[in-house]
Amino acid sequence: MSAPGHYFVPQPSQWPIVASLALLLLATGAATWVNGAVAGPYVLALGGAVILFVMFGWFGALIGEGRHGLYDDQVEGSLRSGMAWFIFSEVVVFAALFGALFYLREISVPGLASGDTHTFLWPQFHGGWPASGPISEGSFTPMRPWPIPTINTAMLLTSGLLVTLAHGALNNGQRGRLVALLSATIVLGLLFLRMQASEYHHAYTALHLTLATGAYGATFYLLTGLHGLHVAIGSLFLLVTLTRVVRGDFSVRHHVGFQAATWYWHFVGVVWLILYVVVYWL
């Protein structure tokens, strides 16, 4: 247990340098794969495996420190601040992507359909959104909000409510209700991913919408795919949290790991609401 007034400082760790190596492998594998190197996919897979190893080892060390009572209120406050700044960095990433989508829809595509550029280079391009672009070939059908996106929205909203109720159950000491609500949240997250995979299959096979379908296809898959990755990470985060709940790691006073998981899940839900309106409706 940490002494009163003592701020815990962890010992030097090998995990940051191992994580850096994993990121280098990921970047190298992706770059070589795109350029046709035979070893590219294997290097990328190795980087992913090392990332998983780092996640289990590093987060396992943090959990162990918490279980041994090394974190006082001041340390937990620092952990909350760190999680808040991490989520803020994620907000910046999605804000940049939404900004790029706005630029394409409101400035770039209309500009290519008017003026000298339109007259001399692409006179056949009529602009408007959704657009594949002046040099993309083939037709496609844009995605509609019904049924899968709307069902996914309902599931994410419900899961956000459930994880909030789970937090209340933790504060009230209702362990069984907490486990049930967290489990239901995870199931809804996994169902969201399953429905999104079905939507992607339909888009590729029936609607002819691919990454090569110019501006619309690229922005659709980038935004929804990146969000889907965050849902997968959030589901894993909640699964680890559920395991810790069953093990009895959290208490009414000390549950910073649980709070971090719920904050992240609410962030995922808010981003999806914005994405649902901007990508599927507007």
- pLDDT, tens only, 32-77: 998 888 899 999 999 999 999 998 898 888 888 877 777 777 888 8
Q: What domains does the chain contain, in order, with CATH numbers? A: 11-69 (1.10.287), 79-281 (1.20.120.80)
Confidence of residue 17 (pLDDT cuts 50, 70, 90): very high
More confident residue, 244 or 282: 244
Which has the higher per-residue pLDDT, 65 or 118?
Answer: 65
The mean per-residue pLDDT over the stretch 239-257 comes to 89
C-alpha angle 148-95-52 in degrees, rounded to nearest 5: 70
User: 120: which residues sit within 8 A by CB, 6+ positions away?
Assistant: none
> What local confidence, expressed as pLDDT, does residue 63 receive?
84
DSSP string, 145-166: STTHHHHHHHHHHHHHHHHHHH
**CA 193 – CA 228 distance, rounded (Å):** 7
Element (H, E) at 87: helix 73-103
More confident site: 117 or 223: 223
Taking residues 258-273, report their average pLDDT: 95
State residue 106's pLDDT score.
Answer: 84
Rounded to the nearest 10 degrees, how much is the dihedral formed by the CA atoms of 229, 234, 239, 242?
Answer: -170
* Residue 256 φ then ψ, to 5°: -65, -35
Give the pLDDT band (50/70/90) at residue 136: low
- Greater model confidence, 243 or 70: 243
Q: Is the model more confident about 87 or about 115?
A: 87
* More confidently predicted of 18 and 121: 18
How far, CA to CA in Å, does 99 sit from each of 93, 94, 95, 96, 276? 10, 8, 6, 5, 15
> CA-CA distance, 237 to 242, in Å (whole number)?
9
Give CA–CA dist 233/55, Å, rounded: 11
* Average pLDDT value over all residues in the chain: 87
With 90 as the cut, is the pLDDT of residue 266 above it?
A: yes
Quick one: pLDDT at residue 74?
83
Confidence label for 5 from pLDDT (cuts 50, 70 and 90):
low
Residue 6: per-residue pLDDT: 66
Give dist(CA 152, CA 228) in Å, integer: 11
